[in-house]
Structure 1
């Protein structure tokens, strides 16, 4: 069963990450891939990305007939890999443990290349389901050395909804122009959460 899926803002919470709520509707198939920019420029944001991703799925019912979550991390050219596929976890505690243990990568940033890689993670061979709501949540500062716009358009053409999450940073603020390009034509644009 497909149903509208939304990302909503609300008041900041005690984690200082901001409350960003996913609406999980019982009986709906939702496949979510967290795509994490673990390049050198985001090393100080890794913890915030992971905490926020964890908070987004706390209310989710995991499993093949409900919500499935996968994770991909990336940095520079040819440096994108799957931390876990959509069909690996049905236990939230184990999912969060594996997510939190994903090591940083360092190096440059290729968000466009990583988005195309993440699109393949929605395939049935990785646990993706034909009738699911497909959600790609991109965690990045928006400083990619390649152009992510075409990759984001490719994802949308395949029925994937993209949300972008960035962490505010006074020293190097997120590149809102690139974040908006990735999130283009979505009802909700980039979500900027305060650093923890």
Structure 2
């Protein structure tokens, strides 16, 4: 890296932590690379018995990234944390990590060894976790991730849907089947999602609302609160629970129409409207729920529906989702799996407003060749069709000179040309 105090150069600071955090080098020491390397080589240890990771993160805010210590206000702020142990106060550590994320400090977190709470270290890392979280077997393997870490530190990630406005509402299940810990996972999921969106009140930005539902639906955050990402995430973390015994999914869907997507609450009339519903239970009135879902579909609200766990009517949740179901319906085993579908949900949400691909004006003819033999069970064949449909949706399909044309054939004992419907073999 080009180390120095120039406007376009990289400045470096170092802190260590044990029972407390200790500032070893501030960014004012970044006069040149040679002097900085010498200072790093002579750093002394504190070697106390505790692992106060929270204090280390708080010191980033209180000291390391302050102008009086050589940091710059309009420069990307990056922290790289290395640890092989669990913090002595996990709650305080995660609270400090949230504060760093809200301050737009990009935190790379490296978990070293096996005797460590990997979930805690992953929570310290910024989003997306796939970019900012690392784990290594031991300290000897740190150099194996060095090039990757340097590359990711230098690269700026761009928010999803950067020039495409969306009005987005999250609908969270707050019934008493949801433990406090699981409800918190929903809030974390929403904030992680927001981290990757261009949130704000600008014409081309994303506005976000949040409602919860149990016995009734409750508007917790309206789109008028999307002033900036940090304040919005703070509001979401502070959402309180109703925790009533019912699952009134129908009222949650009606609330989209009556409140959440109204102009007086910050929604915009000519912007794509998307809702993401999370639930682990059956609605108390299925007929009313499906009627409300139909009303949302008729109002051109695109509804992603996520069914969580085993004790749920999957057909009901799938009916709530917009068409095509393969795109708007998700089914996951538990709340921990929310992180696994996050990137897919973000991509599909943005796809609602992005123009379809036309391969940069180069015409392409694509043929899908699908295995239809009897070794493929019906559900797996359905997945082949869903995969094909999802692929096609990405492209500008048509018979124009610069459009993409698609054909499908299925083979078993002989080949058939089809229109995405399976033909039974004799």
TM range (shorter): 0.7 to 0.9
Q: Which of 144, 166, 178 is matched with 1:42 structurally?
A: 178
Number of positions where the alignment pairs a residue of Structure 1 with one of Structure 2 = 174
Query: Over aligned residues, Cα RMSD in angstroms?
Result: 2.3
TM-score (norm 1): 0.79
Are 1:176 and 2:296 matched, yes or no? Answer: no
State the Cα distance separating 1:188 from its structure 2 match. 2.6
In structure 2, what is the equivalent of residue 90 of structure 1? 227
Are 1:115 and 2:253 matched, yes or no? Answer: yes
* Distance (Å, rounded) in 2 between the aligned partners of 1:63 and 1:35: 20
State the Cα distance separating 1:191 from its structure 2 match. 4.2
State the Cα distance separating 1:146 from its structure 2 match. 1.5
> 2:304, 2:322 within 8 Å by CA — same for their partners in 1?
no
Q: Which has the larger radius of gyration?
A: 2
Q: Which of 124, 130, 141 is matched with 2:263 structurally?
A: 124
Classify 1:62/1:157 alpha carbon distance in 2 versus 1 (closer, same or farther; 3 Å). Answer: same
In structure 2, what is the equivalent of residue 62 of structure 1? 199
Q: Which of 152, 161, 173 is matched with 2:293 structurally?
A: 152
SS for the counterpart of 2:267 is: coil
Classify 1:166/1:93 alpha carbon distance in 2 versus 1 (closer, same or farther; 3 Å). Answer: farther
Are 1:73 and 2:212 matched, yes or no? Answer: yes
Higher relative contact order (CA 8 A, sep 6+): 1
Classify 1:156/1:43 alpha carbon distance in 2 versus 1 (closer, same or farther; 3 Å). Answer: same
> 1:141, 1:175 within 8 Å by CA — same for their partners in 2?
no
Are 1:189 and 2:329 matched, yes or no? Answer: yes
SS for the counterpart of 1:103 is: coil
Are 1:138 and 2:274 matched, yes or no? Answer: no
Unmatched 5+ residue regions in structure 1?
Answer: 1-12
SS for the counterpart of 1:152 is: helix
Are 1:24 and 2:160 matched, yes or no? Answer: yes
* Distance (Å, rounded) in 1 between the aligned partners of 2:316 and 2:266: 30
Unmatched 5+ residue regions in structure 2?
Answer: 1-118, 124-128, 130-158, 337-426
SS for the counterpart of 1:40 is: coil
* Distance (Å, rounded) in 1 between the aligned partners of 2:213 and 2:276: 13
